[in-house]
Structure 1
Amino acid sequence: MQIDSLIEFTNFKCVSMNKDVVDFEYCSFKSVNRTYQYISTKVKVFKVSLNSIKVNFGLHQQINGYQPFLYNVTFDGCQFMKNTKSNVVAKYFYDFIKDITNLNHTCPINHDVIVDKLSSEAINSRVPKVLPFPTGNYMFQTYWTANDKYHAVTKIYFCLL
């Protein structure tokens, strides 16, 4: 039995917890048609440089609210950018955005960060055709910490068809 699964974005939310350090100029979800959707964001960095960045991401499945599902990973973003092979799971997800972002160097981060048009089509072309995931609604959530303080949260909502 072969299962062909497709990802379809349903929403994208971004929240700055400290607007003196970072804020979102835009955080957009566009649905061109049923098969082509994309998300984009631009994070304004107000502090001169961010030298210590930690990222936590998790995949959540909607079952009576969003419950943790499969991944909950925390890693040092600065060390990861020095050697992207150091964390296989983080690299897998970074590879989705590496060609459409300017976040492609080690710390310090002293400029705005852009992710431009991450499409569901691009994800579907990289995700294996046979997935052991059940169909349903999911959320991919990231927490961004700089200098040991939470500064931003992003949430990508999607359904697996």
Structure 2
Amino acid sequence: MTYLLKFGVILTTIIECRFEFTNLKCTSLDKSFLEFQHCYIKAVNRSYKYITIRANVFDLPVYEAITNFDLLKRNNGYLPFLYNITGPVCPFFENKKRFPVSSFITGLFLEHSNFNHRCPFNHDFIVDKLDIGFLNGKFTKLLPFPEEL
């Protein structure tokens, strides 16, 4: 059975070419398969914010999954400006070198998560304390953001 895991990332680009967390929405399309226990942005102070997501998976083990990743920029609504990737998860974890863009995107949060191994997945999905400073370093040094669309 194949399930679609949809992750949407909404980024706000500022003139200095950095971004910040403004909104996070976690929605389960099939609540009998997966439900979000935690999905929030926590602001510790003005400069330190982090994301925590915990998804409880009820139908274990997961042998096949498809993910969708959108990178959006806010400009008269949310517009895709760089990536909209949909693909299978298990072949990606078998050989990450075949998928360089997906490897870059997953590298943004794999250090803060528990799903950095091959299929099958026999546990809940957790992203814990993914902070803005870590992401700013990855994006601004390796992948410059456009200031205008």
Secondary structure of the residue aligned to 1:16 is coil
Cα pair distance change 1:114/1:132, threshold 3 Å: closer
Q: Give the 5 Å matches for 1:56-71.
A: 56-71=68-83
Indicate the residue corresponding to 1:131 in structure 2. Answer: 144
**Residue-pair matches, total:** 134
TM-score normalised per structure 2: 0.82
Percent identity reads 39
Secondary structure of the residue aligned to 2:80 is strand
The equivalent position to 2:64 in structure 1, one of 52, 56, 60, is 52
Does 2:32 match 1:23? no
CA deviation map 1:112-145 (0-9, x unaligned):
0110011110011112348341179xxxxxxxxx
Does 2:85 match 1:86? no
Amino acid at match of 1:96: L
Does 2:142 match 1:118? no
Cα pair distance change 1:31/1:54, threshold 3 Å: same
Check whether the contact 1:4–1:131 (CA below 8 A) recurs between aligned residues. Answer: no
Secondary structure of the residue aligned to 2:118 is coil
Instruction: Determine the C-alpha separation between the residues in 2 that align with 1:118 and 1:132.
Output: 20
Amino acid at match of 1:133: P
Check whether the contact 1:58–1:69 (CA below 8 A) recurs between aligned residues. Answer: no
Instruction: Determine the C-alpha separation between the residues in 1 that align with 2:44 and 2:20.
Output: 12
Which has a greater percent of strand?
1
Amino acid at match of 2:89: G
Extract unaligned runs of 5+ from structure 2. Answer: 1-14
Instruction: Determine the C-alpha separation between the residues in 2 that align with 1:29 and 1:132.
Output: 22
CA deviation map 1:78-135 (0-9, x unaligned):
0101112221111111111111111011111221011001111001111234834117
TM-score normalised per structure 1: 0.76
Instruction: Determine the C-alpha separation between the residues in 1 that align with 2:145 and 2:90.
Output: 32
Extract unaligned runs of 5+ from structure 1. Answer: 137-161
Indicate the residue corresponding to 1:39 in structure 2. Answer: 51
